[in-house]
A = this chain, B = another copy of it.
Amino acid sequence: MLVVTPKISTTHSRSAAVTRLSSLTLLSSEEMDALSTAEGTRQHVRAQGEILVEGAPVREASIILSGWACRVRQFPNGRRQLLGLLLPGELVGECRQRSALATASVIALTDVTLCARPDPRARPGLAEAYAVSAAIEESYIFRQIARLGRLTAYERILDWLLEVQERLAIAGLAEGGRFPLPMTQEMLADMLGLTSVHVNRTLQILRREGVLELSGGSVLLREQDRLAELVDYRSVTVTAG
């Protein structure tokens, strides 16, 4: 239950955003400072609150500093589908276009803290980091399509958990197969195209098999190599040499 991160013991270690973006490409110290400065002016959104509304204009791109968010599509009959996660250090509302409207709503799954994205002009490292981030995000989106289209409930859950772990690890928020999972089984169901009842039953199978511990909003994944093979999970690679 207790997550210890002994190696990062300085009072105020690097934020998730700095950890993530500086791991995507080499950032100058000026660029890291720009990020830290930007993090000073935060914006808070309560759980369930809307960060972006589908069809509404996108003001400016933001970076998620803490908390989990997701893109979502709502159907009129009550069904809804979570299109993809947005985790700390990741960007919201990137677009290359003036007068752009959001192509999907974004809501906060937990309480979320955001800040404006530092201007990438005259900061090639940041521009590169944003571009790499966008490319990685695209590959997460494609993975979500393949997951929903061709994996069983059992495989979907494993594949998705492996992805979440990888994404959190990039931001320094997962360690040793353990990471937070602040979502109800109903949210999981909406993310994975299942019902909450079936998510529940499948999670129990995974627990019984010993590959998964799940309690108090925190997960421990065991035997990850075997699981990754099972669902053909591949780590993200978007840049060459």
Given A80-B150, A148-B145, A149-B193, check contact A237 B55 (CB 8 Å).
yes
Name the interface residues of A91-124: CB closer than 8 Å to any CB of B: 95-101, 103-104
Q: Is the CB of A97 within 8 A of B135?
A: yes
A140, closest chain B residue (CB): B103
A74, chain B: closest CB distance, angstroms: 9
Q: Does A13 sit at the interface, judged by CB under 8 A? A: no
Q: Is the CB of B142 within 8 A of A96?
A: no
A191, closest chain B residue (CB): B149
Q: Does A30 sit at the interface, judged by CB under 8 A? A: no
Chain A interface, >50% SS class: mixed
Given A95-B135, A97-B128, A97-B239, check contact A83 B232 (CB 8 Å).
no
Q: Does A240 sit at the interface, judged by CB under 8 A? A: yes
In the bound complex, residues from chain B placing their C-beta under 8 Å from that of A95 are 131, 135
Given A149-B81, A150-B80, A150-B81, check contact A103 B239 (CB 8 Å).
no
Q: Is the CB of B104 within 8 A of A142?
A: yes
Q: Is the CB of B145 within 8 A of A100?
A: no
A61, chain B: closest CB distance, angstroms: 13
CA distance A216 to B25 in the complex (A): 51
Q: Is the CB of B240 within 8 A of A139?
A: no
Given A96-B131, A148-B193, check contact A239 B75 (CB 8 Å).
no
6 A-B pairs with least C-beta separation: A149-B193, A97-B131, A148-B148, A103-B139, A81-B149, A73-B146
Q: Which residues of A contact B (CB under 8 A)?
A: 55, 57, 71, 73, 75-76, 79-81, 83-84, 95-101, 103-104, 128, 130-132, 134-135, 138-139, 141-146, 148-150, 192-193, 232, 237-241
Q: List 8 A-B contacts (CB under 8 A).
A: A73-B143, A81-B150, A83-B146, A96-B130, A97-B132, A100-B239, A101-B239, A148-B149
Known: A73-B145, A103-B138, A103-B139. 20 other contacts (CB 8 A): A57-B240, A71-B142, A73-B146, A75-B150, A76-B232, A81-B146, A81-B150, A83-B142, A83-B146, A95-B135, A96-B130, A97-B131, A97-B132, A97-B238, A97-B239, A98-B128, A100-B238, A100-B240, A101-B240, A149-B192
